Amino acid sequence: MAKTSPAQFIQEVRQEASKVTWPTRKETSISTAMVFVFVIIASIFFLIVDQLLQSGVKLIFGLGG
């Protein structure tokens, strides 16, 4: 493995950093909104599953009404 000098390393880092494309404000806001929507959908799904499992356990063990 070849050794690189610190100056060459910094130059290579700058070259690679110049290739990075950042998302636009619109892309970021759309992605953020999608994350929030999926979090809400997942939480509702798990709430329903939890309620069904709770009812099933109560029915099997006769612990509730």
Q: What pLDDT is stored for residue 1 in this prediction?
A: 64
Answer yes or no: is pLDDT of 12 > 60.
yes
Q: What is the mean pLDDT of residues 30-54?
A: 98
Average of per-residue pLDDT values in the chain: 92
Q: In Å, how far are 45, 46, 47, 48 from 56, measured between CA atoms? A: 17, 15, 14, 12
pLDDT top residue among 20 and 64: 20
Answer yes or no: is pLDDT of 33 > 70.
yes
Q: Report the C-alpha gap between 53 and 48 in whole angstroms.
A: 9
Boundaries of every domain in the chain = 24-65
CA atoms within 13 A of residue 65's CA, in its CB half-sphere: 0
Share of the chain above pLDDT 70, in %: 94
Encoded tokens for 19: 């290739």
